[in-house]
């Protein structure tokens, strides 16, 4: 551990508190939490090959999320992967939130709600969207299969220190504009490679006004700008959200923890390698038109014209994306008919997201099909206690189990070729939701409004009134 008396960012503070060895431009970091899932089987196989055991099984947690079926008739092939995770974690004495466990769900939804994710921790997982946990003031990032094996065996990881970027968002978001709209707006405005090599800290009045769930959505999509991770400094809103959760200290220990967590905030005058300032009032409900999260326009906008792009490489990519998506330059996004909607994922599968969608759908009938998958069994139980499941079912949508579901298409939930989906997920890559599928990233409220009309729809549009 090193000390430094000059002003430091939250990234500096957490990094320096966890650096065990520093060699040239790399540091060996202690890992406080390691989350594994069905896709981690390669790393477990490496341990089995050498006869090694997990160094700290008490700091490692398994989550059945990517492959676990969300419907009885789907994803039978995924059952084998879920069973393999159960076998692998049991062999190492690792707690596993698997099929049938009341705590099962997506890692980046379950870990925060259980209080496993806490401010100041270094957290890794073999999933790029581990950055979601940064909303709780943790240094959380995704790692590769060989790194998963290294962490399992040593509870450490070698990393190059990232550059530090501050994205400050001030002002007030317009009514009806959500954290998802803000996240997609940022990716569209800054670009998919803008933050390569950086750790992003989000700050400003607009960020502080977001719920903790909203901050998770924002940090989740940091990866779509090329960033290693996103993080928000701890504050009173977070402390109130954490108190009483199973893994969080209680009583006097909680008060002591809060005092320590407060000290993590970036110091006044701390130096960042790059600073970006944005006005929240400029953000509108957004939608992607192409096959990259940076292919973004306001929902009120149109598909772009590649002929007007100065960068020929981007113009060529745009032409290919438009052709894949079945769009023409100038097509109005709100004229675009959809085949289905998906509400869920580690980006938008929390109770706040389901409430937003249900508010739009309540008492109405969808014109297209759709799947609603809560991010965890805890979210599912809460939603059912509030009657949200009945809202979705009465609207004609499917209410399914907890998991990644249609976000990544590994568990039997897939779109048919050519189907167009308004999706609350984080990536719209070619074929991600099924071969030949067409994905438009939107907020839960936009997805719900689009389900009602059968085309991309702004839920604030008075012409689409109840």
pLDDT band at 335 (very low <50, low <70, confident <90, very high): very high
Mean pLDDT value of segment 430-457: 97
Share of the chain above pLDDT 70, in %: 97
Q: Residue 120 to residues 234, 261, 268, 428: CA-CA distances in angstroms?
A: 9, 7, 18, 32
Say yes or no to pLDDT of 331 above 70: yes
155-168 confidence digits (pLDDT tens): 999 999 999 999 99
Q: Which pLDDT does position 1 carry in this prediction?
A: 45
Residue whose C-alpha is closest to residue 138's, from 162, 114, 121: 121
54-81 confidence digits (pLDDT tens): 999 999 999 999 999 998 755 567 899 9
Say yes or no to pLDDT of 185 above 70: yes
Q: Which pLDDT does position 3 carry in this prediction?
A: 52
Say yes or no to pLDDT of 2 above 60: no
Q: Residue 75 to residues 79, 81, 98, 458: CA-CA distances in angstroms?
A: 7, 10, 15, 33
All structural domains of the chain: 10-277 (3.30.499.10), 286-464 (3.30.499.10)
The model's pTM: 0.96
Spatial contact of 20 and 156, defined as CB atoms under 8 Å apart: yes
297-326 confidence digits (pLDDT tens): 999 999 999 999 999 999 999 999 999 999
109-157 confidence digits (pLDDT tens): 999 999 999 999 999 999 999 999 999 999 999 999 999 999 999 999 9
Q: Which pLDDT does position 464 carry in this prediction?
A: 64
Upper half-sphere CA count for residue 129 (Cβ side, 13 Å): 24
Share of the chain above pLDDT 90, in %: 95
209-265 confidence digits (pLDDT tens): 999 999 999 999 999 999 999 999 999 999 999 999 999 999 999 999 999 999 999
356-406 confidence digits (pLDDT tens): 999 999 999 999 999 999 999 999 999 999 999 999 999 999 999 999 999
Beta bridge partners of 198: 163
Say yes or no to pLDDT of 466 above 60: no
Q: Which pLDDT does position 72 carry in this prediction?
A: 73
């Amino acid at each position: 551990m090193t000390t430094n008396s000059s002003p430091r960012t939250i990234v500096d503070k957490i990094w320096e508190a966890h650096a065990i060895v520093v060699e040239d431009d790399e540091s060996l970091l202690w890992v406080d939490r390691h989350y594994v899932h069905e896709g981690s089987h390669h790393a477990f196989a490496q341990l089995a090959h050498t006869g090694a055991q997990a160094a700290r099984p008490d700091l490692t947690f398994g989550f059945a999320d990517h492959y676990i079926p969300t419907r009885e008739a789907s994803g039978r092939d995924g059952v084998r992967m879920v069973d393999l995770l159960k076998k692998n974690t049991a062999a190492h004495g690792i707690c596993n939130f698997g099929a049938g466990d009341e705590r099962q769900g997506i890692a980046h939804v379950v870990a925060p709600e259980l209080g496993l994710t806490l401010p100041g921790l270094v957290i890794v997982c073999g999933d790029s969207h581990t950055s979601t946990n940064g909303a709780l003031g943790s240094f959380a990032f995704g790692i590769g299969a060989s790194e998963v094996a290294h962490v399992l065996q040593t509870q450490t990881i070698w990393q190059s220190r990232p550059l530090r970027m501050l994205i400050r968002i001030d002002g007030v978001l317009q009514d009806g504009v959500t954290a998802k709209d803000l996240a997609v707006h940022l990716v569209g405005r800054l670009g998919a490679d803008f933050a390569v090599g950086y750790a992003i800290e989000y700050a400003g009045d607009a960020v502080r006004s977001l719920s903790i769930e909203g901050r998770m959505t924002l940090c989740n999509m940091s990866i779509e700008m090329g960033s290693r991770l996103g993080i928000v400094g701890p504050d009173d809103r977070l402390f109130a959200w954490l108190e009483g959760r199973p893994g969080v200290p209680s009583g006097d220990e909680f008060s002591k923890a809060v005092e320590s967590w407060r000290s993590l905030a970036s110091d006044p005058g701390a130096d960042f390698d790059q600073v970006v300032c944005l006005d929240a009032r400029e953000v509108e409900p957004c939608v992607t038109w192409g096959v990259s999260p940076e292919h973004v326009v306001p929902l009120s906008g149109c598909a772009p014209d590649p002929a007007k792009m100065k960068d020929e490489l981007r113009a060529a990519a745009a032409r290919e994306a438009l052709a894949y998506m079945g769009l023409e330059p100038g097509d109005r996004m709100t004229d675009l008919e959809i085949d289905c909607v998906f509400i869920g994922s580690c980006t938008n599968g929390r109770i706040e997201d389901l409430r937003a969608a249900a508010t739009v759908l309540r008492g109405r009938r969808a014109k297209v099909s759709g799947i609603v998958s809560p991010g965890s069994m805890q979210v599912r139980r809460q939603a059912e206690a509030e009657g949200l499941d009945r809202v979705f079912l009465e609207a004609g949508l499917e209410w399914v189990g907890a998991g990644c579901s249609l976000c990544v298409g590994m568990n039997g939930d897939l779109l048919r070729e050519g189907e167009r989906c308004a999706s609350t997920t984080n990536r719209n890559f070619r074929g991600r939701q099924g071969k030949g599928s067409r994905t438009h990233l939107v907020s839960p409220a936009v997805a719900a409004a689009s389900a009602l009309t059968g085309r991309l729809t702004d839920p604030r549009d008075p012409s689409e009134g109840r």
